[in-house]
Amino acid sequence: MAAGVKVVPVILVIGPTKWRSRYRARISPEIEASLPKWWHRRGDPVPWPVDMRACLADALRKEHQPATIMEAEAQRRTSPLETGFFLELLEKLPVGRFFAFWPRGANPAGLLWEFPLLVERAGTPPVTPDTVHVFPQDGVGDWDPETGLFEFTEKGYRTTYQRDISRCGFQIWRWSDYPTLIEIVRRVGRYAPPVKR
Amino acid sequence: MQLEKDPLGYLLRNKAGFAILEFLNDGKARPPREVRHTLGLHPQTLKEAVDHLNGLGLVSLMVPPGSKPRRVGRGVALPIELRVTRSGQEVFQLAEEVASDIRSRVRRHEKTLPAATVDRWLPA
């Protein structure tokens, strides 16, 4: 890399790739317009969570925040392993913040694989409570003002992993529908710049 | 939840939201219970206001690192704290300046303004 070139940390939008079987999200027409081109080619009438992640990264880039998803960085891959590729990206991009997209009805396998990788690096930049942002949809989890506890309410998630992610420390931004999610992601992207590395 | 487009407008209209942001403005993360007890808010009022402030990017629900998860029913619950964001501090400062200006103008025209306006901006 040329000397004097400022490297801007990237926001990596992580999260699930597919819906659970028999679950189909409702995506409004205005969101469909900003989805990446490739989802049309898949032939599925409903975009997948990976398409939504690409859409969120695109929304962030429009706010002049460099953002990407793992699937869009395939040209950087040197490791044959998924875990190796993920860890490579953290250094190569380099990643400054993590935005975890967590919609209702998604197959959480990808997210539950990514979280422990972050937990392993908890407390070391770029994995700090200020840089890990989780965006659960209403129905995935909610908080109780009496007890001050955030509870994962969607059935079928692995509680062992949920326990693990609390070690990491992170920030939660709740949303109900996709237009609201995009607005929140833009705001968080704009207003919470990465901690200097 | 229908989000407001303008955080400043929301803060000026919503007393609970304003009070929560004022309390959190020093930047410390605080448990919801402490915020609720200090400000004397009903749990549902706190939840609605915080959910709105969260959606506007002004207050984050933060799971502190190393916090101890608790088992609830068949799942897990994580303790959270409320923390103002940098944007929250900026918007609050602006809202406070506007509110102070409104208060001084209301005080000047106290006798001619509707009672509800005076009660809203100049509480006894």
Tens of pLDDT along B7-32?
A: 999 999 999 999 999 999 999 999 99
Q: Is the pLDDT of residue A38 over 80?
A: no
Tens of pLDDT along A50-80?
A: 888 999 999 999 888 999 998 888 888 888 8
Please report the pLDDT score of residue A195 as a whole number.
Answer: 41
Contact A46, A128 (CB under 8 A): no
Please report the pLDDT score of residue A25 as a whole number.
Answer: 74
- CA dist., res. A53 & res. A50, Å (int): 5
Q: How far is CA B18 from the centre of its chain?
A: 4
CA distance A116 to chain B (A): 14
Tens of pLDDT along A78-126?
A: 888 888 888 888 888 889 999 999 998 888 777 777 887 888 887 788 8
- The domains of chain B, with CATH numbers, are 7-64+75-111 (1.10.10.10)
CA distance A69 to chain B (A): 22
Collect all residues of chain A within an 8 Å Cβ-Cβ radius of residue B55: 173-175, 180, 183-184
Q: Is B57 on the interface with A (CB under 8 A)?
A: yes
Collect all residues of chain A within an 8 Å Cβ-Cβ radius of residue B43: 145-146
- The domains of chain A, with CATH numbers, are 10-17+28-191 (3.40.50)
CB contact under 8 A, B62 and A169: yes
Helical residues (DSSP H) of chain A, grouped into ranges: 29-32, 38-42, 49-62, 82-92, 109-120, 159-168, 178-191
- Nearest by CB to A145, from B43, B65, B79: name it: B43
Tens of pLDDT along B39-84?
A: 999 999 999 999 999 988 899 999 988 888 888 776 778 999 999 9
Q: How confident is the model at residue A196 (pLDDT cuts 50, 70, 90)?
A: very low
| ipTM, 2 dp | 0.85
Collect all residues of chain B within an 8 Å Cβ-Cβ radius of residue A139: none
- CA dist., res. B82 & res. B27, Å (int): 10
Collect all residues of chain A within an 8 Å Cβ-Cβ radius of residue B56: 187
Top-confidence residue, A44 or A129:
A129
Q: How confident is the model at residue B2 (pLDDT cuts 50, 70, 90)?
A: low
**What are the structure tokens assigned to A141, written together?**
């989890």
